[in-house]
Structure 1
Amino acid sequence: MKEESGCSGEKRRAEWASLQPELVQLIADRVLSTSGVDEYMGMRAVCPAWRSAVAKPSPHAAVADLRFRPRQWVLLHGADDQEGRPLFLNVATGRFRRLRLPLLRDYIFVGASDGLLVLGARDLPHAARLLNPLTGDMLPFAAPIPPEDWVETAIVVGFEPTIIFAFEPAYGKYQYIPAYCSLGRGGDAVYSADPMGQLRAVRFHDAASNQDALFYLRSMVTYADNVYVLNSGGTLCKIVRTGGHWYAERILEVDKDYNVALVESAGKLLLIREQPEIIQVFSIDVKRKLLEPIESLGSSALFISHGNCMVVDADMLPSIKGNCIYSISFAGIQLDSVHVLYDLSDGKRRCFSGPLIPGDGLPPESDIIHEGPLSLAQTPKN
Structure 2
Amino acid sequence: MMKLPALLLPPRPDLNRDARYPGDSDNRHANLPCCWRDWSNLGDGPVGLIAERVLAYDVADYVRFRAVCSPWRQSSTEPRTHSGLDRRFHPSKWTMLREELTSPTGRSFLNTSTGQCVQIDIPELRDHELLALTPEGLLVLARKPPCTTTLCMLNPLTRQLIQLPPLSSLLPSEFHDDMLPERDALSLQGSHFRAWGSGILNDDSTVVLCFHHLYMLGMAKPGDDHWTLLDYDDGCIRATPMMFQGCFYCINQSGLMVLEKTGGPPRLEVAAKLNMPFCRMMDTFHLVNICGQLMLVHCHLGRMDRALFYDTYRVDLDNGTLLLVKRLGSAGHALFLGMRCSLSVSPKVFPSGSICADTIYLSFDINSRRSMMDGGYHLADDGVELPNSSVSRPHTLAECLSLANTIS
Q: Give the TM interval when normalised to the shorter protein.
A: 0.7 to 0.9
1:197/1:336 CA distance change after superposition, 3 Å: farther
Instruction: Kindly indicate whether residue 50 of structure 2 is the aligned counterpart of residue 27 of structure 1.
Output: yes
Secondary structure in structure 2 of the residue aligned to 1:202: strand
Residues 135-284 of structure 1 aligned to structure 2 (within 5 Å) = 135-144=158-167, 148=186, 149-150=190-191, 151-153=194-196, 154-157=198-201, 158-169=203-214, 188-195=215-222, 196-203=224-231, 218-231=239-252, 233=253, 235-242=255-262, 245-254=265-274, 255=276, 256-257=278-279, 258-276=283-301, 277-284=308-315
AA of the residue aligned to 1:156: I
1:371/1:42 CA distance change after superposition, 3 Å: closer
Deviation at 1:192, TM superposition (A): 3.0
Deviation at 1:300, TM superposition (A): 0.8
1:101/1:371 CA distance change after superposition, 3 Å: closer
Secondary structure in structure 2 of the residue aligned to 1:46: coil
* TM-score, scaled relative to structure 1: 0.77
Residue of structure 2 in register with 1:330 after alignment = 367
Residue of structure 2 in register with 1:93 after alignment = 114
AA of the residue aligned to 2:241: M
1:166/1:247 CA distance change after superposition, 3 Å: same
8 A contact 1:352–1:371 mirrored in 2: no
Deviation at 1:27, TM superposition (A): 1.2
Measure, in 2, the Cα distance between the counterparts of 1:112 and 1:226.
16
8 A contact 1:338–1:354 mirrored in 2: no
How many pairs does the alignment contain? Answer: 331
1:106/1:8 CA distance change after superposition, 3 Å: farther
8 A contact 2:273–2:320 mirrored in 1: no
1:354/1:246 CA distance change after superposition, 3 Å: farther
Tell me which structure has the larger Cα radius of gyration. Answer: 2
Measure, in 2, the Cα distance between the counterparts of 1:10 and 1:130.
46
Larger relative strand fraction: 1
1:350/1:21 CA distance change after superposition, 3 Å: same
1:191/1:23 CA distance change after superposition, 3 Å: same
Residues 116-135 of structure 1 aligned to structure 2 (within 5 Å) = 116-122=138-144, 123-124=146-147, 126-135=149-158
Measure, in 2, the Cα distance between the counterparts of 1:22 and 1:344.
50
Secondary structure in structure 1 of the residue aligned to 2:54: helix
Cα shift readout 1:310-342 (whole Å, capped 9, x = no counterpart): 21111112311111110143259xx64655211
AA of the residue aligned to 1:247: R
Measure, in 1, the Cα distance between the counterparts of 2:143 and 2:94.
24
Measure, in 2, the Cα distance between the counterparts of 1:250 and 1:3.
70
Secondary structure in structure 1 of the residue aligned to 2:375: strand
Instruction: Kindly indicate whether residue 107 of structure 2 is the aligned counterpart of residue 107 of structure 1.
Output: no
1:19/1:275 CA distance change after superposition, 3 Å: same
Aligned match for 1:343, one of 360, 370, 378? 378
Residue of structure 1 in register with 2:101 after alignment = 81
1:131/1:340 CA distance change after superposition, 3 Å: same
Cα shift readout 1:343-369 (whole Å, capped 9, x = no counterpart): 1222112221359xxxxxxxxxxxxxx
8 A contact 1:155–1:162 mirrored in 2: yes
8 A contact 2:219–2:229 mirrored in 1: yes
Deviation at 1:142, TM superposition (A): 1.7
Deviation at 1:7, TM superposition (A): 4.6
Residue of structure 1 in register with 2:22 after alignment = none
Secondary structure in structure 2 of the residue aligned to 1:104: helix
8 A contact 1:260–1:307 mirrored in 2: no
Structure 1, unaligned stretches of length 5 or more? 170-187, 205-212, 356-369
Aligned match for 2:317, one of 286, 292, 297? 286
Secondary structure in structure 2 of the residue aligned to 1:353: coil
AA of the residue aligned to 2:345: V
Structure 2, unaligned stretches of length 5 or more? 1-13, 19-30, 176-185, 302-307
AA of the residue aligned to 1:194: K
Identity of aligned residues (%): 23
Measure, in 1, the Cα distance between the counterparts of 2:227 and 2:126.
25
1:372/1:95 CA distance change after superposition, 3 Å: closer
Secondary structure in structure 2 of the residue aligned to 1:278: strand
8 A contact 2:51–2:62 mirrored in 1: yes
Deviation at 1:156, TM superposition (A): 2.5
Measure, in 2, the Cα distance between the counterparts of 1:102 and 1:307.
26
8 A contact 1:226–1:239 mirrored in 2: yes
Measure, in 1, the Cα distance between the counterparts of 2:388 and 2:86.
42
Cα shift readout 1:101-136 (whole Å, capped 9, x = no counterpart): 112212121110111100012353522111111111
Secondary structure in structure 1 of the residue aligned to 2:78: coil
Over aligned residues, Cα RMSD in angstroms?
3.0
Deviation at 1:54, TM superposition (A): 1.1
Secondary structure in structure 2 of the residue aligned to 1:198: coil
